Structure 1
Amino acid sequence: MRRRAYGTAVVVAALLASAGCSSKYAGDNGTSGTTAAGHRTVTPVDGCGRFSWTDPADRSPTRVPARCEPLAPSPQPLPKTRKLTIVTGTLSAEYVAPLEVAVDKGEFKKEGLDVTLKVLPTPDALPLLAKGDIDAMWAAPEAAVMNGVKGGFDIKWVAGNFSPDPKSKSGLWVKLKKGEAAADIRMAGRRMGTMIGKGSVIAYPMEKALATHGGGLDRIQYQQLGSADVLTALQNGGVDSAWLLDPVWRKVDDNPRYAFLGGQPPGEPLGGMLYGPSLLSDDVDAGVALLRAYIRTVNTYFAGDYKADPSFVAYLAKLLKTDESVLKSTPSLIMDWEIRVGTTTRLQSAYQAAGVSKGPALPESRTVDRSLYEEAVGHQP
């Protein structure tokens, strides 16, 4: 099937002990932008022209995401099959769909990669990634990740995942008190239901939403809940507010007792692919190949409004093991493999405001590496 493109805080000491690593970045001034393996030759890629890269500094809500032609970039099989393990917190969420489609459609195999997707929480996966026991994480640069990198983990964010459609109301929802109007909401002292806690990347957009409603990350109470319990707790009064993802927010969207305060910034992915030393330095060819297959899958199947195709929606629903009507109830995600400048800096600022991170913020040279996806699409800086 071809698609058309369009114009918790974490106890770091324990993690470090389990990873057996120590910091090697003393004195880092944040100026290096190359991969751990050093400079690599980047050549133009057929089907990936000037629209296959956008200025990382562009944070316009209307920015059109980078795109190549369908089926591009074409596979460049490794000389020997490489087995890779990617861990993710779930295999049922829509944002994981590009990886599952890449496995199902054989896009990874075309690169000479034998990829296994495994479900594992971020705190459990981090030391394994840092040691090279797993190769990649489909997650986000949460506080646990940033604190781990500060402690010496060789982990970087190497590709984005998505940003929400402007029509989406995935984000911070509050249950109104009797007689309360949405414009009068004051969040200070209210209880927030969350799956990850203070150290989640949602701290960044949540901080912005709270600021306009008399609150702050240090002025609300957090209650950590399982993914299936967040909505229930909000509805039965167990918490006063919650961050509701697609398509859960549709359960309260038409109810006047609930108000939407804000969500993820448009055009700015807050998660995606994280690499450890296995793909950052030990086998960079495999690291690029993995991103090439991911990017090709986006260009071929998720380039635009992929939910406009009923047969593809039916296929996705079966692949994700979710109800087709539920999948159709929310807009398509805007799949986006690129990373914006300053995102990890803004995230770290929010983590400090929430009290789950201390000390100076890490520079981007310690947290982000765009060179692998740039190589995959043939962009020459």
Structure 2
Amino acid sequence: MKRTWFLATVTALVAVLLSGCSQQPGPAGETPDGAASGSGEIAAVEGCDEGADFSLASDVENGPARCEPGAPAAVPLDEPAKVTIAIASQTGDYAAPYFVGVQEGEFEAEGIDLDIQVLPTRDALPLVAGGQLDGIASANSAGVYNSASQGVAMRMLLGQGWIAEESLAGVWARGGDTEVADLGPGTKFGSAVGAGSAANVDLFDQAQETGVDMKGFEYIVVAPADTVLALQNGSVDAAMILDPFWLELQDDPDFTRIATSVPAGSDNGGFWGGPSLLDRPDVAAAFVRAYVRTINTYFSGDYKADAENLEIISAATGVEADAIARTPSFVFNWDVPTGMTDAHQEMFIELGESPYAEPIPEEELVDRSFVETAVGRERP
């Protein structure tokens, strides 16, 4: 499997894209120049029948939507294409399909030579804008939306999914009976991203309901692997604890989980295609098809219960199979839930993380046409 590692040079473009205070964003409702939409006519796809119905996509009880393993079949490009994307982590569950898809030849079957760069989202965004990267698999941080508001022609082509009900990833607080209502001004909140993380949505919604103002929090940047220690030693009062680190707290009566990181049926991120990919709609369609097929083949249901699957994922990601199996299977969803981008932006605007006053409309951020074509079904 091809994996290239590099340290991106962060130029002045970072300030233009990610800093909202010194630049005025383009008006909401304006489509950035260079954005492409549409991937062809929608026709029935073998193996993608009732189970691939988009009505199941965010259905917690009966979904998400799925085709049969191996579907949709590859449709090789007339000419091979190189696609370079960035992912913030190689070890997170959300990242596994990209690495497995390369290892198992799913992208190659489409004629795509996929090069995965492991880069922080902040470093990757200016490279997407400049065309050095074709896209980014990322959580929808404030920086992603701010980049789009500055006119970067990028569209969310694929969703990501949500954590299983059994997973206790989310916001944990000190104290055995602490509730969101107990938080307030001066609360030290630890996370890898801070107030600009889409993982804060459930906490934000509860805070809104109980009258807690999250703008009064003191946001402390803590690496995911260090969040439990920071909580235990009192460096922070509450923290975003991701998989698998919550396992250290689940039986400790001195700590309480007060919010999830991804509400079931919703999402925190997905794949954003940049201008250099959107300008090649046939390549974007092939990329999306390979990803969807990878999900259907290797990441359906309780995929971590399959020993052969675990070995495949372990070999692709470099994570030991036993470590992968410690946490519940992630619920992958290729769809982008309706209203998700609005919910994220409303939070970021309220917390002062976005420089614009009204959310950018979903239709200017999301393009579902490629996944519709891949599975042969129109999204209602």
Q: Could you say whether these structures have the same fold, taking a TM-score greater than 0.5 normalized by the shorter chain as the test?
A: yes
3-state DSSP class of the match of 2:231?
helix
Which of 280, 288, 292 in structure 2 is aligned with 1:295?
Answer: 292
Q: In structure 2, which of residues 353, 358, 361 is the aligned counterpart of residue 360 of structure 1?
A: 358
Distance 1:184 1:245 in 2: 18
Alignment of 1:232-243 (within 5 A): 232-243=229-240
Deviation string 1:22-46 (CA, Å, 9 cap, x unpaired) is 999757378x9xx725573222111
Secondary structure at the aligned position of 1:365 is classed as helix
2:372 counterpart of 1:371: no
Give the structure 2 partner of residue 82 of structure 1: 81
> What are the residue-to-residue correspondences of 1:119-138 with 2, within 5 Å?
119-138=118-137
CA distance, structure 1, for counterparts of residue 115 and residue 213 of structure 2: 40
- Alignment CA distance shift 1:203-1:181 (3 Å): closer
* Runs of 5+ consecutive residues of structure 2 not aligned to the other structure: 1-11
- Matched residue count: 360
Partner residue in 2 for 1:95? 94
Q: Which residue of 2 aligns with 1:8?
A: none
Q: Please point out which of 298, 301, 305 is paired with 2:302.
A: 305
- Structure 1 distance, partners of 2:25, 2:252, is 53
* Conserved 8 A contact 2:180-2:206: no
What CA distance in whole angstroms lies between the structure 2 residues aligned with 1:107 and 1:270?
A: 25
Task: Deviation per CA, 1:130-181: give whole Å up to 9, x if none.
Answer: 22211110102221111111111111111011211111111010011xxx62
State the distance in 2 between where 1:313 and 1:13 align.
38
Q: Distance in 2 between matches of 1:269 and 1:208?
A: 15
Give the TM-score, by structure 2 length: 0.87
Q: Which amino acid aligns with 1:52?
A: A
Cα distance in 1 for partners of 2:91, 2:129 equals 26
In the other structure, the counterpart of 2:103 is: 104
Closer, same or farther in 2 for the Cα pair 1:364/1:139, shift >3 Å? Answer: same
Aligned-pair distance for 1:245? Answer: 1.0
Match of 1:146 in 2: 145
> Which of 178, 181, 186 pairs up with 2:177?
181
The answer to whether the 8 A contact 1:203-1:354 is kept is no
Alignment of 1:1-381 (within 5 A): 14-16=15-17, 28=29, 36-37=36-37, 40-55=40-55, 60-176=59-175, 181-182=177-178, 186-188=182-184, 189-211=186-208, 215-263=212-260, 264-280=262-278, 282-357=279-354, 358-380=356-378
Structure 1 residue 309 displacement after superposition: 1.1
CA–CA distance in structure 1, aligned partners of residues 353 and 63 of structure 2: 34
Distance 1:186 1:80 in 2: 59
Q: Residues of 1 paired with 2:148 and 2:24: CA distance?
A: 8
Give SS of 1:351's match.
Answer: helix
Whole-angstrom CA distance in 2 between matches of 1:238 and 1:46: 54
Question: CA RMSD, aligned part only?
Answer: 2.6
Unmatched 5+ stretches in structure 1: 1-10
Q: Are the equivalent residues in 2 in contact too, given 1:217–1:354 (CA < 8 A)?
A: yes
- Contact between 2:187 and 2:238, CA under 8 Å: does it hold in 1? yes
Change (3 A) 1:152 1:184: closer
**1:66 counterpart letter in structure 2:** A
Superimposed CA distance per residue, residues 221-247 of structure 1 (whole angstroms, 9 cap, x where no aligned partner): 100122332222112111111111111
Query: In the superposition, relative to structure 1, how do residues 43 and 227 fare at CA in structure 2: closer, same or farther (>3 Å)?
Result: same
SS in 2 for 1:229: helix
Q: State TM-score, norm by structure 1.
A: 0.87
* Residues 209/112 of structure 1: CA separation in 2 closer, same or farther (3 Å cut): same
In structure 2, the residue corresponding to 1:340 is in which secondary structure? coil
Secondary structure at the residue paired with 1:361?
Answer: coil
Structure 1 residues 100-109 or 321-330, which shifts more? 321-330
Shift of 1:276: 0.8
Partner of 2:4: none
> Is the Cα–Cα contact under 8 Å of residues 26 and 150 in structure 2 kept in the other structure?
no
C-alpha distance in 1 between matches for 2:146 and 2:371: 25
- Identity, in percent, stands at 34
Letter in 1 for 2:15: A
The answer to whether the 8 A contact 2:13-2:126 is kept is no
Q: For the residues of structure 1 that align with 2:326 and 2:18, how far apart are their CA atoms?
A: 45
Contact (CA 8 Å) 1:94, 1:320: kept in 2 or not?
A: no
In structure 1, the residue matched to 2:9 is none
Provide closer, same or farther for how the CA distance between residues 140 and 315 of structure 1 changes in structure 2, counting only shifts above 3 A. Answer: same
